[in-house]
Structure 1
Amino acid sequence: MSGHAAQVKEHMEVVGSDGQHVGTVDHMDGDRIKLTKKDDPDGSGQHHHYIPASSIAAVEGGKVKLSMPADQAKKAATTPGMSR
């Protein structure tokens, strides 16, 4: 796990490089951030989505800041069984 990933805690907000909301951390799952179902990018609220820890630019101010804009992060988020 990278240094940034070790700082990620449950219920932290995940934001894109543009400061826009991507999701809320459910927990770290290996080398991925597991987002809560309520932040399901497909809008159904039925699936957890995952963002690679390698996308973390910083963890500061109680937020996980990604190295990509929120829209791009939401499109890149995967569900279990889908390739990254």
Structure 2
Amino acid sequence: MSIASQIKEHMKVIGADGAPVGKVDGIEGERIKLTKDSTSAGFDQETHHGHHHYLPIGLVADVEGDTVRLSATGANAAELFEEEA
């Protein structure tokens, strides 16, 4: 079973350091789409709130229960966010 097929809507996404990154809205291609209301370590919520962010599936280290753990810390993951196209 591929890692992408294990990721479901509303799962928590956390960094390798346990910092919250957001919640899964869905999978689009090779990216995790986070919900618009997701918060993230190290991101200015004034300018990054209210729209979707995406993370590459390649950052996923593990899927356990209702949690997606990334290989990057929460702050590093925030730096890798991709904006809506």
TM-score between both structures, scaled by the size of structure 1: 0.87
Deviation at 1:42, TM superposition (A): 4.1
Which amino acid is 1:50 matched to? Y
Q: Pick from 71, 74, 85: which aligns with 1:70?
A: 74
Which amino acid is 1:37 matched to? K
How far apart, CA to CA, are the structure 1 residues paired with 2:44 and 2:6?
A: 27
Identity among equivalent positions (%) equals 44
Any unmatched runs of 5+ in structure 1? Answer: none
Residue aligning to 2:13: 14
Any unmatched runs of 5+ in structure 2? Answer: none
Residue aligning to 1:55: 59
Count of paired positions:
80
How far apart, CA to CA, are the structure 1 residues paired with 2:80 and 2:63?
A: 20
Which amino acid is 2:15 matched to? G
Q: Pick from 34, 43, 46: which aligns with 2:45?
A: 43
The SS at the match of 2:22 is strand
TM-score between both structures, scaled by the size of structure 2: 0.86
How far apart, CA to CA, are the structure 2 residues paired with 1:15 and 1:75?
A: 14
Where has structure 1 moved over 6 Å in runs of 4 or more?
none
Superposition CA RMSD, Å: 1.5
How far apart, CA to CA, are the structure 2 residues paired with 1:76 and 1:66?
A: 12
